[in-house]
């Protein structure tokens, strides 16, 4: 039983560390204990180890670690995808090899759909390329979304790709391309998630925990006959919990590593993709991507400092047309001749600007109003919870 105790502890520890590393950077958790742990784990601890290594080996271990980290996390590579597929395949194969003969056909039948699903959705995420924006030698950039003049402004050029960036796009330094409606680059699928394949990523996040929970249920059906407790002991008594622990030990001994161990791995890791799915459901409800949520977080901080002002595009365009001499500011705000019009359900006349001194642009003081909260600003891309979900499911 001792090895299984250690296995369970290791699984829980790895799951917790993974959760902190993945979710601690999110704007919503940045100022919570999870965010503090993430900085301690990913920033302060490496800095302390770097100082120790500098004294002992002259920094050689740090240099090799940085090269490995650069390859794994800052270069496009299939290592994480391969490890993920090996883990899923190995766990499922080990479980079915030992549990197949112990399960009825009716219990095995759902696996025909559940088991291939993560592989299919991973493949669709990995192989998708239509969200990469064309390079200068190819046709003009697609324009699927209007510029909101807050997060995205027209006439913004990507210095790497040398193209005008459409609204909601972002350059990915790992893929070396600009991505349409970029959410984030995911090492899990070795690809950027954006317009077209974001829905398959959500399907992957949903299919994986369903498979894990069902696998844990199958293991439960096998070991359940060996779990029995004395009914005469009160539920909240020490004798009841001791009896329950003994029954659990017997069940683990019956299932072994291939059944009980795999089910423990499944039940303790399933909350990770579920938590990530819940976060992305929130993003869909709010009408924004991961990239945009980070931009909104920066605007929120500047609003709290009193550095953000909101104005009317129509009023400012008329002002620039009649006054002249402020072409640079008009270009910076994207109000010097926005090209084309996008068929979008929502229109907004709002434009935002942030200043360094907390004062509105000079000579236009009466045209700007200071805002202190995000609630005072319109999100042009929020079509409502259901509308946002339809857009995502349609690959838009």
Compute CA 44 distance to the chain's CA centroid, rounded to the nearest angstrom: 23
Higher pLDDT, 203 or 322: 203
> What's the pLDDT tens digit per position in 60-90?
887 887 787 777 767 788 888 999 999 999 9
CB-based contacts of 27, cutoff 8 Å, min separation 6: 293, 294, 296, 297
Structure tokens of 257?
Answer: 């590593």
pTM, to two decimals: 0.83
Q: What is the DSSP string of 158-177?
A: ETTTTEEPPTT-EEETTTTE
Beta bridge partners of 179: 132, 170
CA distances from residue 295 to 23, 168, 236, 290, 300 in whole angstroms, order as listed: 17, 11, 49, 9, 9
> What's the pLDDT tens digit per position in 304-351?
999 999 999 888 888 877 776 566 667 767 777 655 578 899 988 899
pLDDT reading at 383 higher than 90:
yes
CA angle (201 as vertex; 171, 123 as ends), nearest 5: 95
> What's the pLDDT tens digit per position in 284-306?
999 999 999 999 999 999 999 99
- What 3 state SS string does 85-100 have? HHHHHHHHHHHHHHHH
Q: What is the pLDDT of residue 109?
A: 95
> What's the pLDDT tens digit per position in 104-155?
999 999 999 999 999 999 999 999 999 999 888 666 777 899 999 999 998 8
Residues annotated catalytic, as ranges? 186
CA distances from residue 170 to 126, 151, 260, 291, 334 in whole angstroms, order as listed: 18, 11, 44, 8, 17
pLDDT reading at 1 higher than 50:
no
Q: What is the pLDDT of residue 24?
A: 73
Q: Which range, 14-28, 58-72, 153-167, 257-271, has the best average confidence (pLDDT)? A: 153-167
Q: What is the pLDDT of residue 240?
A: 65
> What's the pLDDT tens digit per position in 346-370?
988 899 999 988 898 888 888 999 9
Average pLDDT estimate for 183-202 = 94
| Rounded Cα–Cα distance for residues 302 and 300 (Å) | 5
Beta bridge partners of 74: none
Q: What is the pLDDT of residue 340?
A: 56
Q: What is the pLDDT of residue 285?
A: 96
DSSP code at position 261 = I
Percent of the chain topping pLDDT 90: 45
Q: What is the pLDDT of residue 126?
A: 95
Least trusted range by pLDDT, from 281-285, 333-337, 387-391: 333-337
Mean pLDDT (the chain) is 85
pLDDT reading at 36 higher than 90:
no
CB-based contacts of 261, cutoff 8 Å, min separation 6: 4, 7, 255
Higher pLDDT, 78 or 16: 78
Q: What is the pLDDT of residue 59?
A: 78
Residue recorded with tokens 């995205």: 152
């Amino acid at each position: 039983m001792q090895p299984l105790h250690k296995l369970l502890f290791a699984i829980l520890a790895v799951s917790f560390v993974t959760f902190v590393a993945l979710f601690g950077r999110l704007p919503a958790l940045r100022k919570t204990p999870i965010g503090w742990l993430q900085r301690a784990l990913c920033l302060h601890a490496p800095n302390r180890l770097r100082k120790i290594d500098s004294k002992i080996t002259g920094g050689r271990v740090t240099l090799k670690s940085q090269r490995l980290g650069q390859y794994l996390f800052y270069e496009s590579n299939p290592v994480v995808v391969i490890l993920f597929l090996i883990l899923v395949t190995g766990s499922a194969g080990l479980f079915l090899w030992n549990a197949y003969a112990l399960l009825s056909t009716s219990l095995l039948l759902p696996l025909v759909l559940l088991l291939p699903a993560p592989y299919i959705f991973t493949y669709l995420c990995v192989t998708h390329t239509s969200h990469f924006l064309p390079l200068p030698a190819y046709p003009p950039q697609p324009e699927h979304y209007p510029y909101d003049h807050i997060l995205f402004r027209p006439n913004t050029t990507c210095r790497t790709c040398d193209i005008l960036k459409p609204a909601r796009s972002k350059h990915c330094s790992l893929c070396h391309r600009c991505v349409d409606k970029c959410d984030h680059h995911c090492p899990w699928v070795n690809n950027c998630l954006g317009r077209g394949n974001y829905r398959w990523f959500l399907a992957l996040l949903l299919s994986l925990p369903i498979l894990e929970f069902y696998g844990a249920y199958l293991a439960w059906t096998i070991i359940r006959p060996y779990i029995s407790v004395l009914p005469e002991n009160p539920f909240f008594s020490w004798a009841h919990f001791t009896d329950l622990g003994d029954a659990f030990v017997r069940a683990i001994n019956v299932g072994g590593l291939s059944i009980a161990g795999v089910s423990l791995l499944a039940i303790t890791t399933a909350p990770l993709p579920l938590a990530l799915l819940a976060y992305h459901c929130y993003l869909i409800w709010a009408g924004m991507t991961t990239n945009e949520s980070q931009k909104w977080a920066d605007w929120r901080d500047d609003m709290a400092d009193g550095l953000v002002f909101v104005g009317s595009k129509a009023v400012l365009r008329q002002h620039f047309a009649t006054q002249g001499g402020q072409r640079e500011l008009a270009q910076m705000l994207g109000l010097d001749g926005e090209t084309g019009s996008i068929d979008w359900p929502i229109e907004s006349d709002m434009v935002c600007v942030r200043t360094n001194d907390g004062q509105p642009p000079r000579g236009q003081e009466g045209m700007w109003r200071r805002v202190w909260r995000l609630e005072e600003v319109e999100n042009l891309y929020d079509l409502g919870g259901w509308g946002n979900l339809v857009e995502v499911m349609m690959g838009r």
